[in-house]
Structure 1
């Protein structure tokens, strides 16, 4: 798993307000899939929207808490679940085995579900949309910048390049890559090869490697990496501000 059972996301170093509304909802993708989602609404919006793509666990309390952290920083935020097609939308307990369902997950499934979340956010809160993903969701988040969603940018933490696939040539939005220097899940050579492809294709991206940081360091449970977590937040805020257009 990407985070411990008691793991929770660090707060943004810039907090503009509180969360005025939050809760679960069900949305429907164009292919008919019904999926669970969770949204958090800021009291002081910054004009930008975020769709969070979680790790292998899908819609987990860690990411519901992260939606609050983004809303506190001003973002209208929605987290999606990956497993509506195979696990349905009923509540899950500790017996849920995400690895079984991840084996059934395909890139077009993720694309359709992200698109449903983006459409819902834009209908309710017009403005630039960014994706932010972690591990499994990190690779898929970067790949969303190669879809037809017209994203303002795509952010990913330690996302295995295999989930990005061969989407380099169709990238149309900038990427932010936040990587763990001591990532046991993905060799650094794979990230370097991915970045080399971006360079060759002339694509816009930022890649920052936190030397020595473990996979899933973006967690208050990793107390030795508080400075890196704060830096990652600052990079997210800067990236979304620069690429958020007039709404920033």
Structure 2
């Protein structure tokens, strides 16, 4: 029998995941480009939020992971030290301009924000024009346990580069929203999490063996879930099921629904953007982070 490669640094999470070995492979994405993902074109230029790098250190970094260096985007204030850390997890489109801007917005608030390119081994979603192709040929190949390990590596990078990981949170959007829930059940050092319209339930597979709803009683940090009442991909029944599961577990997580908002209501570069819900969600996120010591 061949030796199995460890799936993550957290034994409790490993116990939930089949022992499928990972083979060492080259990273497809070695550099981050500028601009928006092809699949999101045409961009809604009138609503795009553009945050400058003035007063910031911002740009590409390389994060050492188990099989090489993973590219990521980092933004932080250019003065000071020991900044609280925010891990920013992208949608299926990877770390494109919107996610980079989210990092800059957080840096303007005093955080060290890191957005890892978690699809780096499997393909570059920013260069693919078909959403279905991204889902089938990249997203479907990414194991949850690999993602957990890669985000752990971002924590280690932040700690080694002036971040205060005793004040650490995670936030994610769409695909990254689901990952946010999973990471809140994975890392006991996490203080808070904010999941923007992340899938709550779904079909289990070898690479995605557990869903957020399965882990409601195992959350190690309180999660604020922000959802749209008109989201065609996340039924309100799922949101209510998660709310009930959290209550049953005695957890401190909360879910908020914007009744008239669709999926991706914070994506200011897409037609789904809803300014009112996005701005309110951003305020709620800031309050949640402060409430939980981040």
Query: Does the alignment reach a TM-score above 0.5?
Result: yes
Higher relative contact order structure (alpha carbons within 8 Å, sequence separation ≥ 6): 1
- Match for residue 164 of structure 2? 126
What TM-score comes out, normalization by structure 2 length?
0.72
Q: In 2, are the aligned partners of 1:35 and 1:83 still within 8 Å (CA)?
A: no
- Match for residue 114 of structure 1? 151
Runs of 5+ consecutive residues of structure 1 not aligned to the other structure: none
2:70 paired with 1:35: yes
Superposed CA deviations along residues 6-59 of structure 1, whole A, max 9, x for unmatched, are 2576579xx9x9442111122122x32532210011246694211111111122
Q: In 2, are the aligned partners of 1:154 and 1:175 still within 8 Å (CA)?
A: yes
- Match for residue 106 of structure 2? 70
2:290 paired with 1:212: no
Aligned to 2:198, what secondary structure does the other structure show? coil
Matched positions, count: 238
Q: Cα–Cα, structure 1 residues 10 and 205, in superposed 2: closer, same or farther, change >3 Å? A: farther
What aligned pairs does 1:20-99 form with structure 2 within 5 A after superposition? Answer: 20-29=56-65, 31-32=66-67, 34-43=69-78, 47-87=83-123, 93-94=127-128, 97-99=133-135
Aligned to 1:48, what secondary structure does the other structure show? strand
What TM-score comes out, normalization by structure 1 length?
0.85
Aligned to 1:87, what secondary structure does the other structure show? coil
- Match for residue 25 of structure 2? none
Runs of 5+ consecutive residues of structure 2 not aligned to the other structure: 1-36, 202-210
Out of 173, 184, 187, the position equivalent to 1:145 is 184
Supply the RMSD in Å over aligned alpha carbons.
2.8
Out of 280, 284, 287, the position equivalent to 1:231 is 280
